[in-house]
Amino acid sequence: MSKYRGLIRKNDYLVIVKQLRGEWIPNFEEGKIYSTAVNGYLTPATDRDGYLTLGIQIEEEKRCHIRMNRAIWVMRHGIPCDPTLEVDHINLNRQDNRLCNLRLVTRSENMRNNPEKFARAEAIRAERAAGVSTKELAEKYHCNPRTIRRTVSGEYYNPERYPGTAVFPRLHLQYPAKGGYPAGWNE
């Protein structure tokens, strides 16, 4: 998503068009989309990252893949004012696309929302405390020694700052203008 340059995402536009034409009807409670073209719920595929995706034919030889979580969110809230924002699964289950489980977050917030990275940070801290050098840890974990130092010091992935969870504060509630919605819109 870092190379994105447009005003809106093509996929968001396609979702809105399908909804406005009456071709797609969202079921927010179940996280599904009913298609009037097939007279049934759409059957998404699971991509390599574990997200449910829909394939749409947009031209004779062009196909577009839309993630269900973003489609559900866009159908309820509209196209985000900032196209770089991402739709996150609150419970970290990529198959659970119910609206109550989705929220709009920044890329960095979404990337930090990963319990595996917190576990890796704890492993780095434990190994460093056991006497393994910063250079050895950097080679083992394929990162910069500075990243190791920041992880050990608690600057990165600090469990005291976010106790019991890898979910970071909701940026869109702290800065509602960033997402273009008033505070509390997703509650």
Mean pLDDT of 41-67: 89
pLDDT at 133: 94
142 confidence band (pLDDT: 50, 70, 90): confident
Flag whether pLDDT at 109 surpasses 50.
Answer: yes
Tell me how far the alpha carbon of residue 40 is from its chain's centroid.
27
Distance CA 119, CA 140 (A): 15
Distance CA 16, CA 136 (A): 51
pLDDT at 162: 54
pLDDT at 54: 94
| Fold classification of 10-112 (topology level) | Homing Intron 3 (I-Ppo) Encoded Endonuclease; Chain A (3.90.75)
pLDDT digit string (tens) for 146-172?
989 988 988 877 766 654 444 444 434
Sorted by where each begins, the domain ranges of the chain are 10-112, 115-160
Largest interatomic CA distance in the chain: 63
Six-digit token string for 75:
């159908």
Please classify residue 142 by burial: count the beta carbons closer than 10 Å to its beta carbon, then call 0-12 exposed, 13-18 middle and 19+ buried: exposed
Higher pLDDT, 14 or 186: 14
Six-digit token string for 72:
């559900």
Are residues 44 and 67 in contact, defined by beta-carbon separation less than 8 angstroms?
no
Q: Which of 47-56, 80-89, 105-114 has the lowest mean pLDDT?
A: 105-114
3 confidence band (pLDDT: 50, 70, 90): low
Q: Which residues, 6+ apart, have CB-to-CB distance to 17 below 8 Å? A: none
| Percent of the chain's residues with pLDDT above 70 | 81
Higher pLDDT, 31 or 58: 31
Distance CA 10, CA 8 (A): 6
DSSP 15-80: HHHHHHTTSEEEETTTTEEEETTTTEE--PEE-TTS-EEEEEE-SSS-EEEEEHHHHHHHHHH-S-
pLDDT at 102: 94
Three-state SS at 86: strand
Q: Which of 118, 138, 116, 115 is nearest to 128 (CA)?
A: 138
Mean pLDDT of 133-155: 90
- Write the CA distances from 140 to 114, 119, 123, 133, 177, integer angstroms: 20, 15, 12, 11, 41
